[in-house]
Structure 1
Amino acid sequence: MATVNRELVMRKSFNDFKNYPYGFARSGDFSIRESDLLAKHGSLISALMSGELEPQNNEEQSLLQVARGEKAAESPIEKTWSKYQSRINRPKVGSMYGRSRYTDDAFESVPDLDDDIVVED
């Protein structure tokens, strides 16, 4: 059963629609070769990282060590996976103009000026 599961995982193309909704090739972050490597091997690496599959050979063991950050990347797929991890874990930029000047709390603390209006006859 594990070999069937491994074969299905290896045949499945890897996609990350959350971070790359239009695909790896159209993102501009990866070259064509790198996007092909991610699509081909990404499902296997993510299954190894999640513990669904156990590494069967030295290459898979090396991929797992690189994915965990225990070893420096050497092969093209290891370098591509490291690049992918660094891209999806980079800090998010909120705004190019900095923090918002106004918050909801700032509007709530302003006293009602309508109550202070006095009309004289």
Structure 2
Amino acid sequence: MKEVKMSVITKEQVTRKPFADKKHYPYGFARSGDFSINESKLLQTYGSLFAALVDGKITPENDEEQAYLESALGHREPGTPQEKAWLKYQARINRPKTASIYGSKKPTVDDVDDDDMSDNSDLDIDLDD
């Protein structure tokens, strides 16, 4: 019988690479216009940790990480800049999709008074001269 090894993900493995969301922010957080430079740096630094905590890939090892998880899950108000940046990121990627700026209804033509357009009585042009 083969033994299936469960790979345990450590905090160091999760936080080794900067956090990036290529789907929603293909050019990076700093170039999106949604985040300040400081918020972008915080997301790159702490985003992988928050994502792993929320997804259950790692468990909180200390009170700080437990506080991050509670804030990310909405169980308490964010207290640190990292928590605020993460919640702002979540709000941006989970916002409802907007419709076209042109709407979905067919445009209606305003009623034009035909009498004004067809009344040529004041245009007396004599072409026989």
TM-score range, shorter chain: 0.7 to 0.9
- 1:55 alignment partner in structure 2: 60
Looking at structure 2, the residues matched to 50 and 8 of structure 1 have their Cα atoms a distance apart, in angstroms, of 15
- Of Structure 1 and Structure 2, which has the larger fraction of its residues in helix? 1
| 5+ long unaligned stretches in structure 1 | 102-121
> Shift in Å at residue 100 of structure 1?
5.0
AA aligned to 1:19 is H
Looking at structure 1, the residues matched to 10 and 70 of structure 2 have their Cα atoms a distance apart, in angstroms, of 22
> Shift in Å at residue 27 of structure 1?
0.2
- 1:11 alignment partner in structure 2: 16
* Runs ≥4 residues deviating over 6 A: none
Matched, 1:30 2:39: no
AA aligned to 1:25 is A
2:51 aligned to which of 46, 49, 53: 46
Looking at structure 1, the residues matched to 105 and 18 of structure 2 have their Cα atoms a distance apart, in angstroms, of 41
1:89 aligned to which of 66, 90, 94: 94
User: Sequence identity, in percent?
Assistant: 54
Q: Deviations over 1:50-93 (max 9, x none)?
A: 11100011111111011111110110001111111111111111
Looking at structure 2, the residues matched to 18 and 43 of structure 1 have their Cα atoms a distance apart, in angstroms, of 15
| 5+ long unaligned stretches in structure 2 | 1-6, 107-129
1:61 aligns to what SS in structure 2? Answer: helix
1:27 aligns to what SS in structure 2? Answer: coil
Corresponding residue pairs, total: 101
Structure of higher CA gyration radius: 2
CA RMSD of aligned residues (A): 1.7
